[in-house]
Structure 1
Amino acid sequence: MMAQSRCWGLNSRGISTPSPFLCLSSSTSSFSRPPLRYAVLGAGFAGLSVAFHLLSESAKELNLCIDIYDEIGIGGGASGVSGGLIHPYSPKAKLLWRGAECWNECLRLLSTAETAAMCSDDFDLGVSDFHGLIVQKRGILRPAVSMKNLLLLSDVILSELNVSTRIETIDKEAAQNLVPDLCVPFNTAFHMPQAVNIHPQRYLQALYVACENLVKEQSSSGIGEKELHLHKKSVHKILDLEGEYQAVIICLGAKADMLPELAGRIPLRTCRGVVAHLKLPDDIREEYPELGPSILSDAWLAIQGPRSLYMGSTWEWKSRNSSPNVSTSEASKALEELLPKAYAIYPDLKNWTFTTARAGLRAMPPLTPHGSLPLLGCVNDIVGENNGCKYWLFGGLGARGLLYHGWLGKLMAQAVLACNEQLIPSELTSWKKRI
C-alpha cells in the first residue's frame, strides 16, 4: 500500500496552502482523487459568499464539491429582505471596523455578480424595479434630525477616513437639489455619493450564477473537477451530516441558534424586521429624482427607481419568527411605526401607496470594543467534535451583512481550505472565549 501524504497546492493568489485531503502519490491524476466535499448551510449573503470564495480561493487542481442547503432557496431568509443600502460607516459617522477592506471586497463581489448576470442567457434582466440593474449607484443622504445627530456629523474628520467612499457635509439647499422638498431641520446633511443600493434578491441570484461560472471555467480547464449543488432542504441537525463532508460551514443567520448542537451556546440576539414596499400611483406625475440618493434617518428609504422604494425597518427583539410572510395586522403596525418617521424627513412620501411587506429575522451579534462584529470560527468544541476542522460558523452579520459578507466570506473560505482558524482576525473569533 502506498504511503499517504498531505497535499499542497497554489490558491488563486499563488500562495501555497495545504489541502486537507490525502493523495496516494504525487503522480496520481487529479481526476482519480476523491473530491473534497463541503456543505454550506444557508444561501444568503454569508453562504453564497463562502461558496464563491471556496471556489475562487481553492487550488485549481483541487477536486471540489460544494453542497449548499437552504429550505427556501437563494435569498429566502433575511438577506433577501434587506434594504440593500451599503456604506462603510456607523450611525456615528465613523468608519466601521476594517471598513475599507469590507467595502472594497463588497464592491468587487457586486461587480462579479453583475458581470455574471449580464453574460448569462438564463438571467432575466428585464423585470425589476431597478430596470434590470442589480446595483444602483445613487449614493445615500442622511439629514441631521437632532442636535446630537448634528454634533456627530460635524465631528467627522474627512482626512482620517481611509476608505474609497467619501463623506460630504452639505447644507439644506444642496440636499434639496438632490431630493426636492426634503426636510433638513438643522440645515446640515451627511452625503455619501459613492454609497450604493442593491436589489438583494437579484444580487444573490447573480452571485450564484457567478459560482456556477467558476465551476464551469475551472472544470473545463482539465486540471481539477469542481461541482456545485443547491439543495432546497433543511438540515435539522449538524451531526446528520457526519462523515459526508470534510467541512460544514453554518451560514444560517438567526436559524443557527435553532440547531440543537448550537442552541443557546452562541451569543446571538434575534430581531425580526419588517420592510414595506411603496410605489407612486399612476396618476401622480412627479417622480423621485432619477439620480436621487436613498435616505437614512429614523426610518430608511431605499430607492428602487423613480416610482418604487423600500421603507424600513422595524425592530422586534427576541422574536423567533423567521417567516418572510407578513400578516395584515403586522403590516399595519409596521406602517404606523415607520411612516411618521419617514414623513418627517420626506413629506412627499404621503403621495406614495403601500403595496406589500416582507420580514426577515436578523442575527445580531454582541457589542465589542470594535462594534457589533460577526461571529466566525471553528465550532467543533461546541458541536462536540474534536477531530479536525469539520464545523465552522459564519453568523451574526446583523444589519451590516452586505458590507461584511464579501471580505469575511473570503476569510472564512481561506480558513476552511487551510483548516486554520488563525487566518481569521482574532476580533471575530474572540466570542468563543466568552461562552
Structure 2
Amino acid sequence: MLAISGHEPALIPRKWHKATVSSFLSLPHPSGRCSYSSFSARCSFSTSAPKRPLRYAVLGAGFAGLSVAWHLLQHASEEIHLCVDIYDEAGVGGGASGVAGGLLHPYSPKAKLLWRGAECWKESLNLLNIAQDAILKKVNTAERETAQTCETQIVRRKGILRPAVSLKSVDTMTENAQNCLADCIIESIDEEAAQNLIPNLTVPLNLAFHMPEALNINAQCYLQGLYLACQSSANDLSAFGFKHRELCIHKKSVQSLKELPGQGYYDAVIICLGARAALLPELSGKLPLRTCRGVITHLQLGDDIREAYPEDSPSILSDVWLSVHGARCLDLGSTWDWKSRNYSREVTWDEALEAKKVLLPKAYAVYPSIKYWTVAGAVAGLRAMPPHTAEGSLPLLGCVDEFMNDIQSHVCKYWLFTGLGARGLLFHGWLGKLMALAVLSRNEDLLPSELISWKKKSHK
C-alpha cells in the first residue's frame, strides 16, 4: 500500500534571542570592485552606532533566508544594536529547501566545475559545521539525546557515486576528474571498483565517477541546526561586551511588502522566498524565474529482505538520485514538472503514482536491487529555477528598489535572493554571506556582476 505524507517539519519555539557578531573587513572581496577601505567608509554605522536598533526583515526560512540571517548577525559591526525578523508561514525549512535531496558536491555533468564552486563548497561546509555544533550544544538530558539523534541524521559522510549512463556527460566528468578541487576529488573507476563500493550496481559504460568527500545532507535537520545556531550564538559571546542582537521568527505569510511595518521600521527587507518571490505584487512579472515542482519518494526495505543497503556505501547520482538515510531507508528523486504553480508539500495519490512510474525504472537501470524496496511516502517542493547564462544557471541577487513603484523606498532597502534552483545547498552559504555584507553596507557592488545582470535584461 502506498502511503503519502507531507512530512511537516518540527517547529522551533519563537523567542527573541541574541546572536554573535564579528568584523567583516577580513573577508575576501568577491568582485575586486571595492577596496576594504572604501567598503568600510560606506558602512557609516560601523563607527557611530545609531540611537535606535538596525532592523532587518528576512522573508523566508529556507537555505537562502537562514544563511542571510546568520551572516547579518555575524558580520554587523559590534557597536550596533541589531534586530533580525524572519517571516515564514511554514516555519524553518517549511518550503522546498526542507525537502531537498541533500546531495552536496561542487560539480555538474553538464558543465565544468560549477561557477565559484570552490568558494561555495568551502562556505557550505562551514555552515554545516556551525549547524552541527549548535545541535550538539543542547544541555539537558532530553535535549542531549535529541541532539545526538539529529547530529547523526544531519550528514552522511560516505560520498557519492555517479555511474556513467550516457556518452554525453563522460567527457565533462572526465575533465572534472582531472581538474577537481583538492578537498572534493573525483575518482574515475571501472565497473569492478564501483561494484565494490555498491554491490549489484549496474555500470553500463564500465565507468563511474566517485566523489568520496561529497556529502549527503538531511536538509530539514540541517536547517533546524542553522536556526538554532542563530538563536544561541549571542549567548556564547554575551560576556565579551558585544551590543545586543535579537532574532525572531514569525510564522506569518507575507503576501505583499505593504503588509510589513511601515514608516521606516525596517532598514532593509531581504526577500528569500524562492519561487514565491514572483508572487509578490511588487515583483510580479519582473523576475526571470522558471518554476519546477519536484516529487521525492521515500523508499523502505522490508524486514524480510536480508540484503540491506551497505552502511559504508555512497549515495547514487544518475538520471535520478538515491539519497541514503539508513540501511533500509532511501529517498528517490526527483521529478521535473515545469511551470507548475503548486507550492504544497503534500502529494496527491495520482501525483505519487506518476512519480513512481517515472523514477523507479531509472533507478532500476543503475541499481536493480531497488525492486525489493517499497514506496512508503512522497513529498514535493517547488523550485525557483533561474535563467541560463554563459556561467550556468545562476541565482538572482541584488537591490530591487527600482521595482518598488508603488512603495516609498529608501536607498538599498529592498533586496532579492532567489533562484537557487536545484543547487541551494551549494550556493546558499557563500551567496548568503555576500548578500549580508551588501545589505549591511548598502553597497550592491559587493555582489558579483553576473548575479545582478538579470536586472538590466528585466528593464529592457
TM-score (norm 1): 0.92
Name the CA distance, whole Å, in 1 between partners of 2:83 and 2:76: 11
The aligned counterpart of 1:417 is 440
1:277-305 per-position Cα deviation (integer Å, ceiling 9, x unaligned): 11111111221111111111111101111
How much identity, in percent, do the aligned residues show?
58
Work out whether residues 273 and 316 of structure 1, in 8 Å CA contact, stay in contact via their aligned partners in 2: yes
The aligned counterpart of 1:402 is 425
Equivalent position SS for 2:323 = strand
The CA deviation at 1:163 is 4.9
Structure 1 stretches of 4+ with a deviation exceeding 4 A read 12-16, 18-23
Alignment of 1:262-301 (within 5 A): 262-301=283-322
The correspondence for 2:158, drawn from 109, 117, 138, is: 138
Amino acid at match of 2:398: G
Name the CA distance, whole Å, in 2 between partners of 1:166 and 1:324: 35
Name the CA distance, whole Å, in 1 between partners of 2:107 and 2:433: 21
Q: 1:201 to 1:307 in 2, by over 3 A?
A: same
More displaced 10-residue stretch of structure 1: 274-283 or 45-54: 274-283
Name the CA distance, whole Å, in 2 between partners of 1:156 and 1:293: 19
The correspondence for 1:392, drawn from 405, 411, 415, is: 415
1:250-300 per-position Cα deviation (integer Å, ceiling 9, x unaligned): 000000001000011011000000001111111112211111111111111
Name the CA distance, whole Å, in 2 between partners of 1:125 and 1:413: 29
The correspondence for 1:86, drawn from 104, 127, 142, is: 104
The CA deviation at 1:18 is 5.5
Name the CA distance, whole Å, in 1 between partners of 2:132 and 2:251: 24
The aligned counterpart of 2:33 is none
The aligned counterpart of 1:5 is none
Amino acid at match of 2:147: L
The correspondence for 2:87, drawn from 69, 84, 87, is: 69
Equivalent position SS for 2:223 = helix
Name the CA distance, whole Å, in 1 between partners of 2:379 and 2:216: 18
* Alignment coverage as a number of residue pairs: 419
The CA deviation at 1:247 is 0.2
Amino acid at match of 2:23: N
The CA deviation at 1:221 is 3.1
1:125 corresponds to 2:147: yes
**C-alpha RMSD of the superposition:** 2.0
Equivalent position SS for 1:34 = coil
Name the CA distance, whole Å, in 2 between partners of 1:84 and 1:153: 20
Alignment of 1:295-374 (within 5 A): 295-374=316-395
More displaced 10-residue stretch of structure 1: 317-326 or 232-241: 232-241
Residue segments in structure 2 that go unaligned for 5+ positions in a row: 1-20, 27-35
1:54-73 per-position Cα deviation (integer Å, ceiling 9, x unaligned): 01111122210000000000
Equivalent position SS for 2:430 = helix
The aligned counterpart of 1:382 is 403
The aligned counterpart of 2:198 is 179
Amino acid at match of 1:45: F
The CA deviation at 1:143 is 0.5
The aligned counterpart of 1:43 is 61
Residue segments in structure 1 that go unaligned for 5+ positions in a row: 1-8
Alignment of 1:76-225 (within 5 A): 76-92=94-110, 94-121=112-139, 122=143, 124-125=146-147, 127=149, 132-156=152-176, 158=178, 160-225=179-244
* Higher RCO (CA < 8 A, seq sep 6+): 2
Name the CA distance, whole Å, in 2 between partners of 1:46 and 1:304: 24
Work out whether residues 45 and 401 of structure 1, in 8 Å CA contact, stay in contact via their aligned partners in 2: yes
Amino acid at match of 1:236: Q
Equivalent position SS for 2:147 = coil
The correspondence for 1:237, drawn from 256, 276, 296, is: 256
Equivalent position SS for 2:331 = strand
Amino acid at match of 2:187: E
Name the CA distance, whole Å, in 2 between partners of 1:240 and 1:187: 58
The CA deviation at 1:10 is 7.3
Amino acid at match of 1:125: A
The aligned counterpart of 1:60 is 78
Name the CA distance, whole Å, in 1 between partners of 2:301 and 2:271: 40
Work out whether residues 22 and 75 of structure 2, in 8 Å CA contact, stay in contact via their aligned partners in 1: no
Name the CA distance, whole Å, in 2 between partners of 1:370 and 1:43: 27
Q: 1:152 to 1:19 in 2, by over 3 A?
A: closer
The aligned counterpart of 1:429 is 452
Equivalent position SS for 2:298 = strand
Work out whether residues 45 and 77 of structure 2, in 8 Å CA contact, stay in contact via their aligned partners in 1: no
